[in-house]
């Protein structure tokens, strides 16, 4: 069944991924408005020459992410009509090449995170961040898990017993995500949990690998709510609904280029925050620090959200 209807199923998955990411990002807008009403202020870190970087590498921005995404979609449609086999072979070679590069960067990212936290502590700002933003962290957690639990409850036909069983099946994967801060590392456990929650086990084995990098409910809530808190901290105006919709559109598109590794979610989003919400260098440094500190909870929410997404696909197709 999966082989026969592969194109239809993949198209449905991608469509629902975009819809789910858009929905959770849009809901987080209203949580962000709630956060924006509070009096938030952030003490600027003390500049310290002793921890200045030894060198800086400034790479030119030849082409923006949104243009790459749009170009890839258009080329994909054209090549599927005229030279599908050639395009598939070329795409596979590019995928292998990119995967090798990413494997190298995966080992560098933990060093980046560790160095960033050491820098925050040296600048005497880490304790300030935890103290001033604890309320924000709690609000994000309530919003994330409230949304996810509601999704599980509805997908369980509002049956408490089935709801609890579905969450229990995904608990090992979510705990793994919390400790490893990576949805990819937790993928084997996510597949097992999703198989136990669905009627079609082959579907679970198909959906989880496809969505592990692109369906990130935890990120959709966390990044947006943190962005509102930082906008208020720096005295910037709250974005209008129209501007937020434009931001959400590019935010959802950028999800397709996220690697589900520690800190990966925020690194990809920094150019979008800068371009569409007016973030400066200090604001981007702050949201990166906050995201990294809260990444275990965000990843846990991402894993649980993917489990709910598989259950949704199963309910639609079965």
* From the candidate CATH numbers 1.10.3860.10, 3.30.1130.10, 3.60.20.10, 3.40.50.2300, the one assigned to the domain spanning 24-42+66-317: 1.10.3860.10
CA torsion, ordered 125, 129, 132, 136, to nearest 10 deg = 170
The predicted-structure confidence for 221-233, as pLDDT tens digits, reads as follows 999 899 998 888 8
Residue 152 has pLDDT above 90, yes or no: yes
Judged by average pLDDT, the poorest of 140-144, 220-224, 233-237, 263-267 is: 263-267
d(CA 177, CA 219): 13
Q: Rounded to whole angstroms, how far apart are CA atoms 184 and 173? A: 10
Please provide the average confidence, as pLDDT, over all residues in the chain.
Answer: 80
Higher pLDDT among residues 57 and 193, named by residue: 193
| pLDDT for residue 140 | 92
* Res 73: pLDDT: 67
Q: Is the pTM of this model over 0.85?
A: no
Name the pLDDT band for 183 (thresholds 50, 70, 90): confident
Neighbours of 9 (CB within 10 A): 20
pLDDT-derived band at 3, boundaries 50, 70, 90: very low
In the predicted structure, residue 125 carries a pLDDT above the cut 70: no
To 10 degrees, what angle do helices 126-155 and 6-36 make? 130
Among 79-88, 119-128, 235-244, name the most confident range: 235-244
Which pLDDT does position 251 carry in this prediction? 84
The proportion of the chain whose per-residue pLDDT surpasses 90, expressed as a percent, equals 10
Structural domain spans, the chain: 24-42+66-317
Distance CA 122, CA 116 (A): 10
pLDDT at residue number 132: 73
**pLDDT score of 171 more than 80:** yes
Q: Which helix (H) or strand (E) holds 301?
A: helix 281-317
pLDDT of residue 47: 52
Calculate mean pLDDT across residues 108-129: 69
Q: CA nearest 154: which of 163, 142, 146, 145?
A: 163
Lowest mean pLDDT among 75-79, 276-280, 286-290: 75-79
Among the residue ranges 1-15, 88-102, 235-249, the one predicted with the least confidence is: 1-15
CA atoms of 9 and 317, how far apart (whole Å): 9
* Residue 197 CB neighbour total at 10 angstroms: 23
Question: Within a 10 A sphere around the Cβ of 95, how many other Cβ atoms?
Answer: 10
Rounded distance, CA 120 to CA 39, Å?
23
Instruction: Please compute the mean of the pLDDT values over residues 72-100 and round it to a whole number.
Output: 76
Backbone angles phi, psi at 170, to 5 degrees: -95, -5
More confident residue, 163 or 316: 163
Among 18-32, 50-64, 80-94, 270-284, name the one with the lowest average pLDDT. Answer: 50-64
Share of the chain above pLDDT 70, in %: 79
**315/76 Cα distance (integer angstroms):** 29
Mean of pLDDT values over 148-154: 94
| CA–CA–CA angle 167, 169, 171 (5° rounding) | 70
């Amino acid at each position: 069944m999966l082989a026969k209807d592969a194109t239809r199923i993949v198209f449905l998955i991608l469509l629902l991924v975009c819809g789910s990411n858009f929905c959770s990002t849009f809901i987080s807008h209203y949580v962000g408005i709630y956060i924006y009403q509070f009096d938030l202020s952030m003490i600027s870190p003390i500049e310290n020459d002793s921890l200045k970087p030894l060198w800086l590498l400034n790479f030119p921005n030849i082409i923006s992410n949104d243009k790459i995404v749009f170009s890839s979609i258009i080329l994909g449609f054209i090549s599927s009509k005229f030279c599908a086999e050639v395009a598939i072979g070329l795409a596979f070679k590019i995928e292998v090449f990119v995967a090798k590069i990413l494997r190298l960067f995966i080992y560098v990212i933990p060093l980046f995170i560790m160095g960033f936290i050491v820098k925050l502590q040296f600048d005497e700002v880490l304790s300030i961040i935890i103290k001033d933003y604890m309320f924000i962290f709690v609000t994000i957690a309530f919003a994330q898990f409230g949304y996810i639990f509601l999704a599980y409850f509805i997908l369980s036909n509002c049956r408490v017993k089935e709801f609890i069983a579905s969450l229990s099946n995904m608990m090992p994967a979510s705990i793994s995500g919390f400790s490893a801060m990576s949805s990819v590392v937790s993928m084997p456990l996510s597949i097992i949990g999703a198989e136990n929650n669905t009627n079609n086990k082959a579907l679970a084995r198909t959906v989880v690998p496809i969505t592990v990098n692109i369906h990130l409910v935890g990120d959709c809530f966390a990044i947006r709510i943190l962005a509102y808190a930082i906008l208020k901290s720096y005295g910037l105006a709250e974005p209008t609904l129209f501007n937020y919709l434009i931001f959400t559109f590019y935010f959802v598109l950028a999800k397709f280029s996220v690697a589900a590794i520690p800190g990966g979610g925020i690194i990809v989003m920094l150019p979008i925050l800068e371009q569409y919400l007016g973030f400066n260098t200090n604001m981007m440094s702050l949201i990166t620090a906050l995201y990294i500190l809260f990444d275990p909870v965000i990843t846990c929410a991402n894993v649980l959200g993917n489990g709910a997404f598989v259950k949704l696909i199963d309910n639609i197709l079965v």
